[in-house]
């Protein structure tokens, strides 16, 4: 089974906030500005995976919102292969009510972005959100928004800031997006310290040299089993992310550099995130890796 645990959709860049939209459209960020996060493009990109998590986004501080209702409607069109993750802003009105509303929409988890939303992960209002998520068995996904606006508070984006949360709610699954970039080793330390803290490899997978070093570090930290597959669509597609993973040992060929064991790479790609995160849902249909090779426009290489 292949589950993309980190994807996005939106109907316009303005849903990400005026400042973010302006940056995405600027010449300095031309690549980002051409991203197509429309539902049809998402559907096409996800043909090579069995299921995907689709994130909403809410940040009142940036006047940004990808409505959870929009996500829920998209998910409902293919409920067996899509799972909604609600955007929650702990600094907005009635944060616990936001979680309850997300649960009523059938969302399987929530996502927060402390750097953009302007709160320390252990803020008292945020802690009430996590407590409610624990009661509802809804994992918390932490996003590292790209590009960050000038107003983002980078200190609040540090993975180590989640240590207090994980100590207070040891049963709450927490997924740190993009391996906590740029604090990758800090993230790996957090994963080794807390049983229910995980990370996805999205974002980093688009930078192969950084991915190679991150996986070597994860192996040395003995936390490879805590890594989840994610593409961060529309920044990347799952097919490209899978290809990046399976070709990562190209850096070690003909050198004395260590390689990443292929079974460990395959385990990341095929890890059952629903089971790992304790989400009581099942994928409606499963396709084998060999079937994915045939259907994907960017098949898994047969060797590295």
pLDDT digits (tens, 9 = 90+) for 2-50: 999 999 999 998 999 988 888 877 755 556 556 899 999 999 999 999 9
Q: Judge whether 304 lies within some domain.
A: no
- pLDDT value at residue 290: 36
Q: What pairing do the DSSP bridges indicate for beta strands 57-59 and 64-66?
A: antiparallel
C-alpha to C-alpha distance for 157 and 139, rounded to whole angstroms:
18
How many domains would you assign to the chain? 1
CATH number of the domain where residue 157 is located: 3.20.20.140
**DSSP tally for the chain: helices H, then strands E:** 14, 10
Across 144-171, b (16+ Cβ under 10 Å) vs e yields: bbbebbeebeeebbbbebbbebbeebee
Host domain of residue 94: 3-295
Q: Judge whether 302 lies within some domain.
A: no
Q: Judge whether 78 lies within some domain.
A: yes
- The alpha helices in 37-162, defined as continuous H runs, are 39-45, 68-76, 95-104, 114-117, 124-136
- pLDDT value at residue 31: 60
- pLDDT value at residue 288: 42
Question: What's the predicted TM-score (pTM) here?
Answer: 0.92
Which residues fall within 8 angstroms of residue 79, CB to CB, at 6 or more apart?
284
C-alpha to C-alpha distance for 22 and 245, rounded to whole angstroms:
32
Geometric angle at alpha carbon 160, from 62 and 55, rounded to 5°? 45
**Which of 43, 39, 44, 53 lies closest to 4, judged by CA?**
53
Q: Judge whether 209 lies within some domain.
A: yes
Contact 8, 24 (CB under 8 A): no
pLDDT digits (tens, 9 = 90+) for 219-269: 999 999 999 999 999 999 999 999 999 999 999 999 999 999 999 999 999
pLDDT digits (tens, 9 = 90+) for 103-150: 999 999 999 999 999 999 999 999 999 999 999 999 999 998 777 888
- pLDDT value at residue 33: 55
Q: Judge whether 166 lies within some domain.
A: yes
Q: Judge whether 153 lies within some domain.
A: yes
Q: Judge whether 125 lies within some domain.
A: yes
């Amino acid at each position: 089974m292949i589950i993309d645990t980190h994807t996005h959709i939106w109907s316009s860049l303005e849903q990400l906030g005026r400042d973010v939209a302006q940056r995405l459209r600027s010449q300095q960020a031309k690549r980002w500005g051409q991203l197509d996060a429309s539902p049809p493009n998402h559907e096409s990109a996800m043909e090579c995976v069995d299921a995907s998590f689709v994130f909403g986004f809410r940040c009142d501080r940036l006047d940004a919102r990808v409505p959870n209702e929009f996500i829920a409607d998209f998910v409902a069109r293919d409920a067996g292969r899509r799972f909604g993750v609600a955007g929650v802003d702990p600094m907005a009105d009635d944060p616990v009510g936001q979680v309850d509303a997300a649960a009523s929409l059938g969302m399987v988890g929530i996502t927060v972005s402390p750097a953009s939303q302007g709160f320390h992960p252990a803020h008292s209002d945020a802690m009430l959100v996590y407590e409610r998520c624990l009661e509802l068995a809804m994992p918390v996904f932490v996003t590292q928004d790209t590009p960050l606006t000038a107003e983002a508070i980078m200190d609040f984006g540090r993975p180590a800031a989640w240590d207090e949360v994980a100590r207070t709610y040891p049963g709450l699954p927490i997924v740190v997006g993009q391996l906590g970039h740029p604090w990758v080793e800090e993230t790996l330390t957090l994963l080794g310290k807390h049983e229910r803290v995980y990370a996805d490899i999205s974002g980093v997978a688009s930078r192969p040299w950084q991915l190679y070093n991150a996986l070597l570090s994860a192996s040395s930290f003995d936390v490879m089993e805590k890594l989840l597959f994610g593409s961060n669509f529309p920044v990347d597609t799952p097919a490209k992310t899978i290809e990046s993973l399976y070709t990562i040992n190209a850096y070690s060929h003909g050198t004395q550099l260590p390689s990443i064991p292929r079974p460990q790479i395959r385990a990341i790609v095929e890890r059952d995130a629903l089971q790992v995160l304790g989400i009581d849902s099942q994928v409606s249909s499963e396709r084998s890796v060999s079937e994915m090779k045939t259907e994907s426009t960017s098949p898994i290489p047969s060797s590295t």
